[in-house]
Structure 1
Amino acid sequence: MKRRLSLKFFFGYIVTIVIGFLFIAVAGSHVLDNLMTNQAINNMRNGCNLVLSSYRTQTAGSIQELSFLTAQLKAISSFQECDIWIIDQTNQVVTSAYTIQPAPTEIPEFDPTAGGDRSYLVGDFYGQYSEPVITVYTALTRSFQTYGYVISHCKVSTIIERREAILKVAYITWIGMSILSAILILFFRIFVMAPLKKIIKAASEYAAGNLSYETGIHSHDEMGYLSDTLSYMSGRLNSIGEDQKRFVANVSHDFRSPLTSIKGYIEAILDGTIPPELQDKYLKIVLNETNRLTNLTQSLLTLNNFDANGILLDCSHFDINDVIRKILATFERRCQEKKICFEFTVPSKEIFVYADMGKIQQVLYNLIDNAIKFSNPDSIIAITVTIHHEKVFISVKDNGIGIPKENLPKIWERFYKTDTSRGKDKKGTGLGLSIVKEILQAHNENIDVISTPGVGTEFVFSLPVS
């Protein structure tokens, strides 16, 4: 890709330079030649008309006494770099001024009709000049009578020299623009092509699986932004890859442990290691492990459904206080076993919210289940409902083991468990808080956590007031 792009720019540069040169050398030369020839003819015609105007205002028609025009003829001749003559009707030169060569005494071959409608000639003017000249002539008339002619000559070589001087400037400009374009292409190669090559190399490395590859681009322009974006993408892909590995490891562990227990107990029952009078006890253990696998599978299916289809909400108006009371009732037996009490505080008997009741029940169940799981025996779990600025805030606070500060950002990750030894969380799937986060985000609501190791943890989430 780099070579193709470089070649495109190189050939584009060459074609532009060649077209520019041809335009100046061919089209520009031709246009300038016509332009400067017409300009010279117009200037000479204007000079002749100026002499004619002076003649008409200062004579009565005689063409023999024209000494008063000498100064004017010399000025015109010098300014236009031309010869200017005045001849009478017999083609005798009456007066003249020159910068090319002196005027002859007469021009017997002069024919004022030779130029046709153009009133100018190109050539040696009847053999009077050794090189081509442009000749412009105007009749000296007064009272509708012609007394002679004003004739102006300019060398063709003079016009060519003027054209070449302008073309020289054009060629110098063309060379300067070519050098500037080459410098711009060099800068483009350094500041665009070189970083682009590094980015292509990085993309190839990422495609090959080397997600830790660094582009080495640290600029603050578009290339730097593209490099940073690729680096961020590779970092996210690397993180996702690590998450997948951790996910597989956690799933393997959480499936292998109960399956190992189930297999061991069933084999022991079948080979008689466990006597019949103890089989009920161990079959209940097998049943609990089966329930654990069922819960794990259900949680995985729930999260997978969230990922694939998003969370579809069936929102309605309901009393959040009533929902909390019913959920607390389902944990009565577990609380009695650990001697845990619920402290439920509400600002009013009924508080209606607008949300998906089924999914909010799942949020509350997961948070209260975690609170019971990690609370110390003979402790209190406080559930508090408050209203502030059209929002209902539900708090679930325990007096358990707490969560270390460095682990707080990780608790929303799938399969993450703060109790790495799994001492207090042997039945947990590590998916509960992930499900809570997904559900509340689908409601466009937030959940926050405050925790102190050895003191307890508080989760607070919001819902819209009905």
Structure 2
Amino acid sequence: MKNTLRLRFVFSYLIIALLTLILLNTYGHSAIYNKLVEYEKSKLYEEAELIAREYMPSISIRDTVDITLLKHFSALETLTNMRVWIVSPDGNIQMDSNLENSCHGENINEYDAAFLSYQSVVGEHPKGLMDDNMISVIYPITESLNTNGYLVLMSPASALNSSATNYIDSIVICGFIILSILFVIFISLYRRTVTPLKGMTAAVRAYANGRFDYRMEKMPCHEQTELADAICYLAEQMNGLNEYQKNFIANVSHDFRSPLTSIKGYTEALADGTIPAEMQEKYFNIILFETERLTKLTGNLLELNQLDHGSLVLEQENFDINDAIKKTSASFEQRCLDKHVSLDLIFDQKELMAYGDTGKIQQVIQNLLDNAIKFSPQDSVIKIHTLQKNHKIFVSIKDYGIGIPKESQKKIWNRFYKTDVSRGKDKTGTGLGLSITKEIIDAHGENINVISTEGVGTEFIFTLPSAKI
């Protein structure tokens, strides 16, 4: 049997109903009965005080019983079911209002010596004289600190037990009504909880099967709406990831296939002697160039895999960002000379200490400089500017090249993305450099932005925290 919410609702309802009935017929009955007994004791004690005040001063307990008083008490018992004993100090019953089963002349002490010492007793007391459960109140009649006798008033406990049962029966009827209402509430709760869950389950299965256009019905509760929105958001992310994986595989296949095709074609041509000896060096260089492209692409993919899985460990320290820029710029000296591009380093301070991973920040500068040189025209300038504001260091790399189309500026951080112009002019790029750059800056908890105008140039600005003291 499946452990479903429906079964849990049914079991919960049955347990509540069963416990309610058990409690009402055990603890509830006992509590009501005890309450009625206490009330009866209080009533008997008030009656005893009234009788002692009104009748006892006019008679002598040791004397012969007053017939008129006996008839009065007998009539009182008939009306109220309250039995009255007048007992002498030594325990003799001088008067019993019950004429049919009179205990007149009996000595209570011979049956239950402790009976007259109590204020009230519940049960078959005095034992031997009473066979039924009685509620008894013993009221001593005193004069000048002397006990002249006792007034004992008794009422059958069975009547109170019946009253308690009647009360419980009424409460049980009310309980059944409440349970009926509770059943309706349970059904409503079931429909408002389980039914939406079934809808969500169907949606999750649809998303798992790739049906990302599946739409869930509106949820009745705020919490369920939040859960449904979270599932829809997850489905959108899965759909985006699915599309990304397709594009990723297509881009990787394309970027690997192109150089591999060149390498294979030129290698076969060299092997079968199609290419003359004097031309072989040229094609060997092409093969070497394509091999370097594959090596760079593989390295970038491995680095992105590290960033994706959070396994990138930043070795952060205080370092001079100006010095890092100088060292990185020096590695581009030959490319700048070949293209007649000059680097203009503008430092607001001779030494500007930042906090971060020196190697990774140099990689960021290298990627941005590589793009700047690649898309700058000959005889142009690339400006690299650093400054400090409010405990933040700003690094700007600005070229005066072809620029980036406005519609492409938000896409340049995507992996393998290249603008049309870029694809036409860039034969060495992998489309991963800017993606890696942003991932590194994000890992530092900082920001990188681009400002670009077609035909005017492009400026990348990223921030770093100032050095920690």
TM above 0.5, yes or no, is: yes
TM-superposed CA distance for 1:365, in Å, is 0.8
Aligned twin of 2:13:
13
Aligned twin of 2:183:
182
One-letter code aligned to 1:424: K
One-letter code aligned to 1:231: C
Aligned twin of 2:227:
226
Return 5+ residue gaps in structure 2 as ranges. 127-131
TM-superposed CA distance for 1:459, in Å, is 0.8
One-letter code aligned to 1:291: E
Cα distance change, pair 312–85 in 1 and its aligned pair in 2 (3 A): closer
- Give 3-state SS (helix, strand or coil) of 1:422's partner: helix
Aligned twin of 2:312:
311
TM-superposed CA distance for 1:10, in Å, is 0.6
Asked if residue 111 in structure 1 is aligned to residue 111 in structure 2, the reply is no
Cα distance change, pair 411–81 in 1 and its aligned pair in 2 (3 A): farther
Deviations, residues 387-414 of structure 1 (Å, cap 9, x unaligned): 1122221101122333334433332222
CA distance in 2, matches of 1:134, 1:362: 98
Aligned twin of 2:238:
237
Matches within 5 A, 1:6-405: 6-55=6-55, 59=58, 61=60, 81-83=80-82, 109=104, 111=106, 113=108, 117-118=114-115, 138=139, 140=141, 142=143, 150=151, 152=153, 154=155, 158-160=159-161, 162-219=163-220, 221-308=222-309, 310-405=311-406
Moved more, 305-314 or 287-296: 305-314
- Give 3-state SS (helix, strand or coil) of 1:394's partner: strand
Contact 2:387 2:393 in 1 (8 A): yes
Contact 2:399 2:457 in 1 (8 A): yes
CA distance in 1, matches of 2:407, 2:207: 30
One-letter code aligned to 1:408: Q
Deviations, residues 366-400 of structure 1 (Å, cap 9, x unaligned): 00111122234443322111111222211011223
Cα distance change, pair 255–392 in 1 and its aligned pair in 2 (3 A): same
TM-superposed CA distance for 1:427, in Å, is 1.0
TM-superposed CA distance for 1:247, in Å, is 1.2
CA distance in 2, matches of 1:350, 1:121: 100
Aligned twin of 1:99:
none
Cα distance change, pair 23–306 in 1 and its aligned pair in 2 (3 A): closer
CA distance in 2, matches of 1:251, 1:205: 29
Deviations, residues 311-352 of structure 1 (Å, cap 9, x unaligned): 223344443323323333333343344443333222133323
CA distance in 2, matches of 1:240, 1:287: 35
Contact 1:445 1:461 in 2 (8 A): yes
Contact 1:2 1:197 in 2 (8 A): no
TM-superposed CA distance for 1:208, in Å, is 4.0
**Could you tell me the TM-score, scaled by structure 1's length?**
0.80
Equivalences, count: 449
Cα distance change, pair 390–112 in 1 and its aligned pair in 2 (3 A): same
Aligned twin of 1:461:
462
**Could you tell me the TM-score, scaled by structure 2's length?**
0.79
CA RMSD of aligned residues (A): 4.1
- Give 3-state SS (helix, strand or coil) of 1:409's partner: coil
Contact 2:349 2:387 in 1 (8 A): no
Deviations, residues 22-41 of structure 1 (Å, cap 9, x unaligned): 33234433443354245324
One-letter code aligned to 1:269: L
CA distance in 2, matches of 1:138, 1:271: 133
Cα distance change, pair 297–20 in 1 and its aligned pair in 2 (3 A): same
- Give 3-state SS (helix, strand or coil) of 2:420's partner: coil
Contact 2:85 2:93 in 1 (8 A): no
What is the aligned-residue identity percentage? Answer: 39
Contact 1:61 1:142 in 2 (8 A): no
One-letter code aligned to 2:182: S
One-letter code aligned to 2:396: S
CA distance in 1, matches of 2:313, 2:53: 98
CA distance in 2, matches of 1:105, 1:413: 108
